Amino acid sequence: MRISVIGCGYLGATHAASMAELGHEVVGVEVDAAKRARLAAGEVPFFEPGLPELLAKHVASGRLRFTDSYAEAAAFADLHFVCVGTPQLPSSLGADTTYVEAAVRSLAAHLTPGGSGSGGPTYVVGKSTVPVGTAAAMAGLLETLSPEGTDVELVWNPEFLREGFAVQDTLEPDRVVLGVASERAEAAMREFYAPMAQRGTPFVVTDYATAELVKVSANAFLATKISFVNAVGEVCDAVGADVVALADAIGHDARIGRKFLNAGVGFGGGCLPKDIRAFQHRAGELGVEEAMSFLSQVDTINQRQRQRVTQIAKELLGSEVSGRRIAVWGAAFKPDSDDVRDSPALDVAGRLHLRGADVRVYDPEATETARVRFPTLTYAASAIEAAEGADLVLHLTEWKEFRTVDIDAVTRVVAGRRLLDGRNLLDLDAWRAAGWQARGLGRR
């Protein structure tokens, strides 16, 4: 099928390349000229394993191309995927849906009664994470703004991508959610996603509002699970218990599960923090703010983890941070990504820097993106270089490289053998055997 993907950032570029891999012809609409030029050259402007090869393959094959023209997209495709961002509003906790609305408005103006020439209906498919009610509003816009006689219908098809696994999650999703208003829309989407249906991927077909709520509810649940184990970890610290063993024990309960029960410095990125805040905000607008009020505490616990790590760092240094050198291993909010949005690692690094510490940051992939957002920090080219002369080493992003680092090599270059594992993934016994004062969060 011929499709367009509107907005070619993280979500859009991944979706465009993956749909080309499934055999569809794809045109990506991207208004940022620099980003569009890189994509057209087969280059991914961010780090995501597996995506550069997929993008380059299908740009070269001609199955995937990029434009800034909505008219070109409307003339080419009958399925248009809206993949633009919905950042947090600067004035509130709500999500900014102006990019979604702008995309729908721009596309609607160029739709025609005959579609792209196929003579069939046109479908506009929302994938962006939006407050509930947005889809109905966008459906109304399409009806109002599309030229008379245009047969166009909205579908809401939320994404569930994990950074670092985005290609896999797009090509082999664990479910496909379709918010539709008609049987024909459902049929069209099932045809489009036929390879997934053939593999037995579950399809959940529902209304617009439920489809919108699925995504934010999933993220709210995951955020709650993380903050829960972090809160328990704080209790473990107070009584000398071990939160890792505790998480292993309760994770054996099939009703709970072990995933996302890793205590540490907390979650970040462009989704979970933004989405739980937007969910609270929207609940308030709907008059059911008390139903989602617990998310405020989830957010508070998550933010407190950063302060907690900062405080423990001060304790390990004898309460004197100013003038001390601190190595920070990690800048991305999670491994296998160069995304530093709302990164706990950089938040802690920035807090310590403001207290007068000489902070040296190293990340395998996110150094350049971190440098843009935190230009006053010092960046190293390796974990060992970051640790040179350090009085304290902080492990704050769980890259495999840090779990397998040569402890003896680190020991030789530091000024003080102090380690804080903010992700509870290092072998503290091995570090202690090398003469280190090593601590985790909620660990013995």
Q: What percent of the chain has pLDDT over 70?
A: 99
State the distance between the two ends of the chain, measured CA to CA, in whole angstroms.
57
Rounded CA separation 221/214 (Å)? 10
Rounded CA separation 301/234 (Å)? 10
Enumerate the H helices of 383-440 as residue ranges. 383-387, 400-403, 407-413, 428-433
Same-fold call for 2-206 versus 220-439 = yes
Place of tokens 């890792």: 244
State the pTM of this model: 0.94
Measured torsion, CA atoms of residues 9, 57, 158, 344, in degrees rounded to the nearest 10? -50
Q: What are phi and psi of 294, to 5 degrees?
A: -65, -25
* 329-350 mean pLDDT: 97
3-state helix, strand, coil in the chain (%, to 5): 45, 15, 40
Burial 19-38 (b: 16+ CB within 10 A, else e): bbbeebbbbbbbbeeebbeb
Place of tokens 């579908």: 155
Number of DSSP helices (H) and strands (E) in the chain, helices first = 19, 14
Rounded CA separation 177/383 (Å)? 42
CATH number of this structure's domain 220-439: 3.40.50.720
Residue 65 has a pLDDT of 98
* 172-182 mean pLDDT: 97
Question: Can you read off the two tokens belonging to residue 337?
Answer: 């990504």
Enumerate the H helices of 202-332 as residue ranges. 208-239, 243-251, 272-285, 294-316
Rounded CA separation 221/297 (Å)? 13
Rounded CA separation 359/357 (Å)? 6
Rounded CA separation 321/316 (Å)? 10
- Say how far residue 401 (Cα) sits from the centre of its chain: 21
Cβ proximity of 81 and 5 under 8 Å: yes
Per-residue pLDDT tens for 247-257? Answer: 999 999 999 99
Mean pLDDT of the chain: 96
DSSP character at residue 316: H
Residue 343 has a pLDDT of 98
Per-residue pLDDT tens for 270-327? Answer: 999 999 999 999 999 999 999 999 999 999 999 999 999 999 999 999 988 999 999 9
Residue 117 has a pLDDT of 62
Rounded CA separation 435/426 (Å)? 15
Residue 118 has a pLDDT of 66
Rounded CA separation 401/381 (Å)? 13
Question: Which SS3 state, helix, strand or coil, does residue 222 take?
Answer: helix
Active-site annotation holds for 271 = yes
Per-residue pLDDT tens for 64-78? Answer: 999 999 999 999 999
* pLDDT band of 114, cuts 50, 70, 90: confident
Rounded CA separation 167/173 (Å)? 9
Residue 214, pLDDT > 70, answer yes
Residue 115 has a pLDDT of 73
Contacts 24+ apart (CB under 8 A), 292-300: 292/220, 294/224, 295/220, 295/223, 295/224, 297/227, 298/220, 298/223, 298/224, 298/227, 299/223, 299/227, 299/273
Measured torsion, CA atoms of residues 402, 408, 411, 417, in degrees rounded to the nearest 10? 80
Enumerate the β-bridge partners of residue 378: 360
Place of tokens 């040296």: 360
Residue 319 has a pLDDT of 82
Q: Which CATH superfamily is domain 2-206 in?
A: NAD(P)-binding Rossmann-like Domain (3.40.50.720)
* pLDDT band of 263, cuts 50, 70, 90: very high
User: Which residues, 6 or more positions from 308, have their beta carbon under 8 angstroms from its beta carbon?
Assistant: 234, 441
User: Which residues, 6 or more positions from 295, have their beta carbon under 8 angstroms from its beta carbon?
Assistant: 220, 223, 224, 276, 277, 279, 280
Residue 291 has a pLDDT of 97
Q: Which residue ranges make up each domain of the chain? A: 2-206, 220-439
User: Which residues, 6 or more positions from 292, have their beta carbon under 8 angstroms from its beta carbon?
Assistant: 220, 279, 280, 283, 284
Phi-psi region of 306 (alpha: psi -120 to 50; beta: other; left: phi over 0): alpha
**Catalytic one among 8, 83, 236, 271?**
271
* 356-367 mean pLDDT: 97
Task: Please report, for residues 75, 109, 175, 186, 204, the alpha-carbon distance to residue 189 in angstroms, rounded to integers and kept in the order given.
Answer: 20, 23, 13, 5, 12
* 434-442 mean pLDDT: 97
Residue 116, pLDDT > 80, answer no
